[in-house]
Structure 1
Amino acid sequence: MSVSGVSASLTGGYVSGRATLRGTSGTAQASIAAAAERLARATAEVSSGKKIQRPSDDVVGTDKALELRRALAAEDRYARAAGDAISWLGTSDTALQRGTALLQTARQLAVQAGSDANSASGREAIATQIRGLRDDMLATANTTYLGRPVFGGTTGASVAFAAGADGVVQPSAGAGNPVSRTLAPGVDVRVDTTGTAAFGEGADSVFAVLDDLASAVVAGSAQSSAQLGRLDAALGRMTTSLADVGTRYARVQSSQSTGADRTLSLTSAQRGVEDVDLAEALMELATHEKAYQAALGAAAKVVTPTIMDFLR
């Protein structure tokens, strides 16, 4: 073979070998990149505890996770509404229990005043106590929760009842309009209590009854006894309102319990979609680490040959 022929043969072999080497090197680099990506994903899953790092990881799982998060956000709103309702109703319950106790005390005083043994000064002292009960009752009727009167409905006033210049107590505007809270889809519960239902209005209001009782006590025993029927009627109205508040309170508590169960179920489902099984994730991480090291080892053996490798 001529020198030129040998030269051409060497050149052609070298070029062919270089092309083969380039292809092998590219394959090795691709293997390393793929192994590195799998390792990085496994590492991210273990460190974050989440299976889905980005939407493209699991499109269906991402949609399900977003749906579950929206449902949990709604349950959180319902839970906060229920907590607010419990506070409203609890405040009303305490106020009505106090109002009931005040009326019971007023009845005891009315019975005491009905005795002929009371002197004029003694009757005046009892009347003073009753007037004090009337003032306490007005303060009770104006009980507030977070600055809003619980017996005032949607009134914009700071009190549910106010005494006019003539001393007559009247409900504020808007006191009859209800305040409600949504505890679940389609489940609304009224959280306030109608002031006039609990405390009456006009001549039948507890304020008018107590005012008249104080005047009757001063006038004499017969007039005091005549007010007992009105006191009992006022006490009945307040007791009815108290029972109604208790019923609604129990309903809200039941809704809270049901909502807590729903939240637990949704949270469990969310974890099933989003969270990794740590033991499984650690095994996968170890597997991908080994695969990455193997890819690096294989690539290390791919070295650029010299011309002597083609002469052998």
Structure 2
Amino acid sequence: MKATQGTTYRMLGSRLNDLSLQLEEFRKIGATGKKLNRPSDDPAAIRPVLNTRKQLSNVDRYMETMGQALDKMQAADGHLEHVENIMQRVKEIAVNVVNGSLNNEDRSVLADEIVNLRQELLDAANGKVDGKYLFSGYKESTKPFAENPAYDPVLYDPTDHTTWPYQYQGDDNPTRLEITPGEKLQVNLTGNDLFFGTSTWNSTPPPNNSVEPGRYDVFSVLTRAEEAIRANDQAGLQTSIADIDGASDQTRRLRSQMGNRASRVETAMHHQEAVRIDLKQILSRYEDADAIEAFNTIVQQENAFQAALNVTGKVSQLSILDYM
């Protein structure tokens, strides 16, 4: 009789322990909303879950990098829009001087305006976003442009950058971003290409940087226009007007290239966002618990545990009576 009671107690105790552990697991599922909280919950699902999480991590990395690049590209576009407006105003001034009958004082006022516009151009060329210069190539912590204290208009030579009114302190390295696996896209414009009209830049002596044929050193274009106005050099102004048009076209062309690249980045971001949604849905199918089902299961397990507890209590009472 005692052996039978001992066996019964052990069976009931084991049943209570099992129900208690199961209830704890279902309560954890209800609290976390996840049916997969550790590898032992579903060993077959671990590998696809880990693979999906890795893919999600890669997508998040792509999205963060592209978002930062797009912020810089949009900031650069804003500065280039301002540059275009500056060039338009400089042309208006030059045309006004050529077509008008201005005295020395009038010309001086307009020349001073070009000086101010050139300073605005310098500010745009030295534009920043998040504390980093936009047009310095890899040298994002280096201000790309500075005035040349040794500039002499008499010595100006478009084939010798040391004689130019402004000096470039960045480099010619393009920033290429991997926007999709295997696809890299240039997401910056370098100052030498944009403002100096040269696609390469060598900062080591002897100087060998020169404005490429059909391209323009934008700073020098403004400087030469200012000098021609002060000197009332009509021929020089006619040349300046043509150069201003060329420099404006150069800016618009490079800005358009940047705009096309920005559009490509936006498209890639939309694609990656769609991929992220798909991956999260896949992960949800493996990990997420049905809230209603989890609640019902918890109620069922609590009822089963309470019933087992009641049975154990009744058996215990009967056993005590046997000894009375």
- TM-score of the alignment, normalized to the shorter chain, above 0.5: yes
Let me know the Cα RMSD of the aligned residues: 2.0
Distance 1:109 1:259, change over 3 A: same
Deviation at 1:308, TM superposition (A): 7.3
The corresponding residue for 2:125 is 141
Post-superposition CA distance 1:164-194 (Å, at most 9, x none): 22232122142x1012333332233322212
Q: Which runs of 5+ in 2 are unaligned?
A: 152-164, 198-209
Query: Is 1:244 aligned to 2:257, yes or no?
Result: yes
The 5-angstrom pairing of residues 173-252 of structure 1 reads: 173-174=170-171, 176-201=172-197, 202=210, 204-220=216-232, 221-252=234-265
- Distance (Å, rounded) in 2 between the aligned partners of 1:295 and 1:76: 49
Checking the alignment, whether the CA contact within 8 Å between 2:144 and 2:169 is kept in structure 1 is yes
Identical aligned residues as a percent? 25
The 5-angstrom pairing of residues 1-312 of structure 1 reads: 17-115=1-99, 117-155=101-139, 158-167=142-151, 168-174=165-171, 176-201=172-197, 202=210, 204-220=216-232, 221-303=234-316, 304=319
- Distance (Å, rounded) in 1 between the aligned partners of 2:296 and 2:116: 77
Letter in 2 for 1:65: V
Q: Which one has a bigger Cα radius of gyration?
A: 1
Checking the alignment, whether the CA contact within 8 Å between 1:200 and 1:237 is kept in structure 2 is no
- Distance (Å, rounded) in 1 between the aligned partners of 2:289 and 2:322: 53
Deviation at 1:242, TM superposition (A): 0.8
Letter in 2 for 1:195: G
SS at structure 2 position matched to 1:162: strand
* Bigger mean CA deviation after superposition, 159-168 or 96-105: 159-168
Distance 1:208 1:299, change over 3 A: same
Checking the alignment, whether the CA contact within 8 Å between 2:225 and 2:237 is kept in structure 1 is yes
Checking the alignment, whether the CA contact within 8 Å between 1:32 and 1:296 is kept in structure 2 is yes
Deviation at 1:141, TM superposition (A): 0.9
Post-superposition CA distance 1:110-143 (Å, at most 9, x none): 1001025111222222211112212211111111
- Distance (Å, rounded) in 2 between the aligned partners of 1:47 and 1:87: 39
- Distance (Å, rounded) in 2 between the aligned partners of 1:308 and 1:300: 16
RCO comparison, higher one (Cα < 8 Å, 6+)? 1
Letter in 2 for 1:187: E
SS at structure 2 position matched to 1:192: coil
SS at structure 2 position matched to 1:227: helix
Letter in 2 for 1:72: L
Checking the alignment, whether the CA contact within 8 Å between 1:72 and 1:263 is kept in structure 2 is yes
Distance 1:181 1:285, change over 3 A: same
The corresponding residue for 1:3 is none
Checking the alignment, whether the CA contact within 8 Å between 1:88 and 1:150 is kept in structure 2 is yes
Checking the alignment, whether the CA contact within 8 Å between 2:145 and 2:166 is kept in structure 1 is yes
Deviation at 1:294, TM superposition (A): 2.2
Deviation at 1:77, TM superposition (A): 1.5
SS at structure 2 position matched to 1:189: strand
* Bigger mean CA deviation after superposition, 278-287 or 101-110: 278-287
Checking the alignment, whether the CA contact within 8 Å between 2:134 and 2:140 is kept in structure 1 is no
Checking the alignment, whether the CA contact within 8 Å between 2:135 and 2:170 is kept in structure 1 is no
Distance 1:43 1:173, change over 3 A: closer
Checking the alignment, whether the CA contact within 8 Å between 2:16 and 2:308 is kept in structure 1 is yes
TM-score norm. by structure 1 comes to: 0.87
Say which structure is richer in helix: 1
Post-superposition CA distance 1:53-95 (Å, at most 9, x none): 3221111223333322222222221111111011110111001
Q: Which runs of 5+ in 1 are unaligned?
A: 1-16
* Bigger mean CA deviation after superposition, 102-111 or 47-56: 47-56
- Distance (Å, rounded) in 2 between the aligned partners of 1:147 and 1:26: 71
Checking the alignment, whether the CA contact within 8 Å between 1:35 and 1:291 is kept in structure 2 is yes
